[in-house]
């Protein structure tokens, strides 16, 4: 298991309960949830990955379990990891998903591969 499948199920359930249309895509050894064809949230190993407004990242990093997303050794702008202790409760998971959904309409789509 490359990623926490139970967390993936929790995210899927949460998005469905919110009435959000999404697509699941396996990528980066994890699972990404695409909203409006843009990466919104995902699962990487045991962590939630959230794409949030870069303007609120510093504030988000103060929350329990949140850290910069740094695949390559340097943080990716607007992306954070939330470790399991920060998303134990469904309310905590939902609040991170809502934060990512709030930014999603303003997020840029990645370039389509030809």
Q: What is the pLDDT along the chain (114 residues), one digit of tens a residue?
A: 589 999 999 999 999 999 999 999 998 789 999 999 999 999 999 999 999 999 999 999 999 999 999 877 788 899 999 999 999 999 999 999 999 999 999 998 876 554
Domain 5-106 is found in CATH 1.20.1740.10:
no
Please state, in angstroms and rounded to a whole number, the distance separating the CA atoms of residues 91 and 87: 8
**Token reading at 108:** 């840029």
pTM for the whole thing? 0.92
Q: Give burial (CB, 10 Å; 0-12/13-18/19+) of 11.
A: buried
Q: Could you say which DSSP state residue 37 is in?
A: T
């Amino acid at each position: 298991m490359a990623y926490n499948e139970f967390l993936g199920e929790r995210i899927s359930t949460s998005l469905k309960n919110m009435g959000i249309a999404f697509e699941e895509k396996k990528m980066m050894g994890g699972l990404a949830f695409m909203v409006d064809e843009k990466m919104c949230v995902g699962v990487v190993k045991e962590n939630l990955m959230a794409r949030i407004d870069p303007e609120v990242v510093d504030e988000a990093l103060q929350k329990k379990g949140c850290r910069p997303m740094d695949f390559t050794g340097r943080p990716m702008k607007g992306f954070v990891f939330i470790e399991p202790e920060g998303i134990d409760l469904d309310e905590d998971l939902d609040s991170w998903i809502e934060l990512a959904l709030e930014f999603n309409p303003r997020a840029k789509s990645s370039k389509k591969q030809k």
